[in-house]
Amino acid sequence: MKSFSAGEVAAALKGSLYGVSEDTMLTGGVVTDSREVSPGDIYVARRGEQTDGITFAPAAVEAGAALVIAEAVPAVDGEHLPTLHVSDATAALGQLASLNVAALRESGDLTVIAITGSAGKTTVKDLTSDLLLSVGETVWPPNSYNNEVGVPLTALRADESTRFLVLEMGARTIGNLAYLTSLIRPDIAVELNVGSAHSGVFGSVENTARAKSELVESLTSGGWAVLNADDARVRAMHDVLAPGVNTLWFSSNPGSEGEPVVRAGDIESHASGRTSFQLQLPDEEPQPVELALLGEHHVDNALAAAAVAHLCGVESRTIATTLGTSGAASRWRMELIDSPSGVTVLNDAYNANPDSMAAALKTLAAMGRGDEETPPRRTVAVLGEMLELGEDSVTAHDTVGRQAVRLNINRTIAVGEGARPIYQAAHLEGSWGNEAAWVATVAEARDLLNAELQPGDIVLFKSSRDAGLRYLGDEIAGISGAQ
């Protein structure tokens, strides 16, 4: 964070100072977890669902916090702790991030990139950050810091040396992205896709599209919208752009329209799980790319990141080279691990929706088929529930079961009551013998896998995060500390 005086922060956040002088300079970082405090930090004492952060204010100050931002004024032995009293600590966190970004824009050359979509946000955030590091200091969020807490915390890590700030922005209701972009307006907004991933939360895919469009609506004249030309709902977002906003399309479909455009041609999937293609950037010579990421669905993610990098001045050869070496930076996203037992684990169980489930199964099938250099392998798909699908849940899970059969997955194991339609659909589609199974719990799935898996097998773990399959994937992979 840029250095501010306590008085400047108090004025911006419309709060009152206690136990600290207005002239006190705040030169540290900002945290919401008292266990992460370093000397000089600001500790924001948010009210959580289980605990109130103000309870830990004394420990934060003892660890060196220079200021506590809280909805009450904590004291120890009758003495006020250094506190900025505000009405809403979470809102104050966002206002502090807004102050920081505005000050950095005024004093330096900061470009803010914001990324949203029903799927792929974290992957594109990671790829984009890797690409931008080649031309300037870049700040990006760890994991999926994409809400009203994570976005400000990421923005508060930017300082005078930061050239690019990459933000992942998620939405659970209409208005979420409008709020986030009111705090931190992007210069480049990336719209990946609109799917049914959260239709149970938004009520419909149309409402999801409305919520996602708030990101590009925040752009002002001179800004850039990076839009997926192959997604009809994203294409429609072009119509809501403000006058003077530029558009850069990306597409993996040779017949797509829209100029300028970042394209992928000659797409080919390999038994290694990797995908190769020709990257065509506007006014540049085509560059061959073989993605380090596994799965053909990552071509679109790579194109989105390449489009941002192109706008930010990264050379085409550097883009191609980086895409060929940039693997999954965040855990449990098409993470390939060869276990000590000889079983290969493909752990993609952090998020799941119908599109990403289909993509993961296609990748597993391609890796199992082998090629001239790689022998065929037995494929096992361990599939848990896709959450937040609302009334479409049964139909979506039914489709997954049928896809597994049509892709000739050797063994499909559905885990949990919500995933039972996967098993039922596999049987209706023509699965026979013991190709498909259903178990009620992760523990039962563990026992079944331990009894059946053999060296040479490749096993996919795919589910929404709360289904818990990512930890089972770690166990089967032999990762120590798996929960």
CATH code of 243's domain: 3.40.1190.10
Residue 125, annotated ligand binder?
no
Residue 350 shares a structural domain with residue 319: no
Beta-strand ranges (E) seen in 314-354 are 335-338, 344-347
Q: What is the pTM of this model?
A: 0.89
Residue 349 shares a structural domain with residue 461: yes
The DSSP secondary-structure symbol of 342 reads S
Would you say residue 139 lies in a domain? yes
Cross-strand pairs, 337: 345
Q: Residues 6 or more apart from 304 whose CB is under 8 A from it?
A: 115, 120, 124, 128, 190, 192, 226, 228, 250
Residue 43 shares a structural domain with residue 174: no
Residue 118, annotated ligand binder?
yes
Residue 478, annotated ligand binder?
no
Residue 362, annotated ligand binder?
no
Residue 348 shares a structural domain with residue 320: no
Residue 314 shares a structural domain with residue 342: no
What is the per-residue pLDDT for 65? 97
Domain with 398 in it: what CATH number?
Answer: 3.90.190.20
How many domains does the chain fold into?
3
Residue 225 shares a structural domain with residue 127: yes
Phi first, then psi: what are they for 185, rounded to 5°? -75, 130
* One-letter identity of residue 395: T
Tokens encoding 418: 């919500």
Residue 59, annotated ligand binder?
no
Residue 279 shares a structural domain with residue 163: yes
Tokens encoding 42: 């600001």
- Start-end of H helices in 334-412: 354-369, 393-406
Residue 430 shares a structural domain with residue 459: yes
| Look-up of token digits 């609302």 | 390
* One-letter identity of residue 276: S
Residue 255, annotated ligand binder?
no
What is the per-residue pLDDT for 260? 79
Residue 273, annotated ligand binder?
no
Q: Which domain holds residue 210?
A: 108-324
Residue 276 shares a structural domain with residue 172: yes
Write the CA distances from 74 to 52, 81, 415, integer angstroms: 12, 6, 47
Helices (H) and strands (E) in the chain, counts: 16, 24
Phi first, then psi: what are they for 188, rounded to 5°? -130, 125
Helix, strand, coil share of the chain (percent; to 5): 40, 20, 40
| CB neighbours of residue 288 within 10 Å | 11
Q: Which residues of 100-116 are buried (b: 16+ CB within 10 A; e: fewer)?
A: bbbbbbeeeebbbbbbb
- Strands laid side by side in the 67-70 sheet: 16-18, 83-85, 67-70, 42-44, 30-31
Residue 311 shares a structural domain with residue 371: no
Domain with 79 in it: what CATH number?
Answer: 3.40.1390.10
Would you say residue 224 lies in a domain? yes
Cβ atoms of 287 and 276 closer than 8 Å: no
From the first residue on, what is the mean pLDDT of each consecutive set of 10 residues in the chain (483 residues)? 97 97 97 96 92 94 97 94 98 98 94 95 95 97 90 98 97 94 98 77 85 97 97 96 97 74 94 94 95 94 98 97 87 90 94 91 94 90 92 93 96 96 91 84 96 96 92 90 53
Tokens encoding 307: 């489009």
| Pairwise CA distance, residues 63 & 31, whole Å | 12
Residue 200 shares a structural domain with residue 281: yes
Would you say residue 95 lies in a domain? no
What is the per-residue pLDDT for 35? 95
